[in-house]
Amino acid sequence: MKGWAFALVVIFSVLLSWSIPRGESERAFLYFSSHEPLVKVVSLASADGGQDFFMEMTDSVATNIEYDFYRDTCPEAETIVRSTMAQIYSQHKNVSAQLLRLFFHDCFIQGCDASVLLDHSNGNKNHSVEKQAVPNKTLKGFDKIDQIKEVLENVCPAVVSCADILALATRDGVVLAGGPFYPLFTGRRDSARSYYDEAMAEIPKPDDNITQTLHLFSLRGFTDRETVSLLGGHNIGKIGCEFIQSRLHNFKGTGKPDPTVSPGFLNEMRVFCEDNGNEKSSQGSPMAATMASPMAFPTAGPMAAPMASSPMASRGMSEKPALRGMPYFQQLSSSVSSGAGFDTHYYQSLLRGRGLLFADQQLMANERTARLVRAYASDDGSTFRMDFARAMMKMSNLNALTGSQGQVRLECTLPVSS
């Protein structure tokens, strides 16, 4: 029964995402806030094998994750996340991209367990944590999750997990930024452990070739199509100049710029980022490299940026002065007609050879992924929005801790003491 209810929600959400004109997503967001549960207004329908996908989704997640998990223990939980996110977004438009990137970095390493938020691993202050790993050092949005958690703790103490907060806040941020709504299971629990070594080794890099990128995503169960759609999250936010520098000056240690970048585009990037210094070896992530983007990868070079000898507080790490960055939207796609963040401009940029990251542009180096890029670029964004929503639903269920596994942290930066 739970599976069918979720399927109904998914069908309605996807249909609505197709039908909402870009620029109307915030209005739809408000609609969802006051019209729940969604199941009541959905009729059973399916197209293009959609029902099989919905059943696959419901069969593949842990038993204790379900739609509206907090309906008895904290009925207002999802409404509180939505309203708090709306308040944050009204003052900080970049929060959507920040949380999308933060969510990816959490789920990509050992699943969606909020381990990336931890300052301690199992209470051991001397153990390096994920947020200290090179790909994660430019992550932002920790303070926004803390803000939402504080509101929820005042209403429902020790009930709503940080993992669920991050998943819900990310989804709501996507909607506020003009992206599609997608339903989520809840009931995740939080990890008491952080995975520094895994974060160092397994987060995709901005200078990875297409084979490396597809391999890392396939290890998490993502198809080529899902991978290409997830990378479309670079539609919003900025790619930090530190992740572009090696392409401009010292690509893969050659002492020369990336030969695949056209001279005109190379000059444009140099003009934009030249005053940002000559950082040639910093690392980030392709769902990651951004001041605010979701999935920008870490840059080339050895994983050798100096690491702190002791954990740093999340607020301190997340409030570094912002470095310059380049967005796909408008700045680099001025000749592409674009109505909002979540449309085709990322893919159209790749078609024109204007991928900011080497890993982004590499989507055109493989015929399978290039065909997907061309397909996403060929319509009004509806296909991409549908695929992105489905892939985000799948990502949100990766290796979730449930039931007696994990814990519900009282503070998202600290595990609950045994």
Q: Which residues carry out catalysis?
A: 105
Q: How far does Cα 91 stand from its chain's mean position? A: 20
Tokens of 122: 């199992």
Backbone angles phi, psi at 299, to 5 degrees: -80, 175
Residues 6+ apart with CB under 8 A from 306: none
CA 257, CA 155: separation in Å to the nearest integer? Answer: 54
Task: Give the integer Cα–Cα distance in Å for 59 and 304.
Answer: 42
Amino acid at 282: S
Sign of the four-CA dihedral 113, 281, 297, 175 = positive
CA-to-CA dists, residue 310 to 116, 124, 305, 317, angstroms: 16, 10, 15, 12
Q: How many CA atoms lie within 13 A of 395 on its CB side?
A: 32
Q: What single string gives the DSSP state of each residue in 169-217?
A: HHHHHHHHTT------EE--BB-S---HHHHHHHS--TT--HHHHHHHH
Query: How many helical (H) and strand (E) elements, i.e. helices and strands, does the chain have?
Result: 17, 4
Q: Hey, what amino acid is at 214?
A: L
Instruction: Report d(CA 365, CA 291) in Å as an integer.
Output: 26
Sign for the CA dihedral angle at 336, 350, 104, 111 comes to positive
C-alpha 35 chain-centroid distance: 26
Measured CA to CA, the distance from residue 372 to residue 370 in angstroms comes to 5
Give yes or no for a contact between 102 and 199, defined as CB atoms under 8 angstroms apart: no
Q: 391 is written with which tokens?
A: 């892939």
CA dihedral 269, 274, 275, 281 (to 10 degrees): 100
Please state whether the peptide bond connecting residue 286 to the residue before it is cis, i.e. omega within 30 degrees of 0.
Answer: no
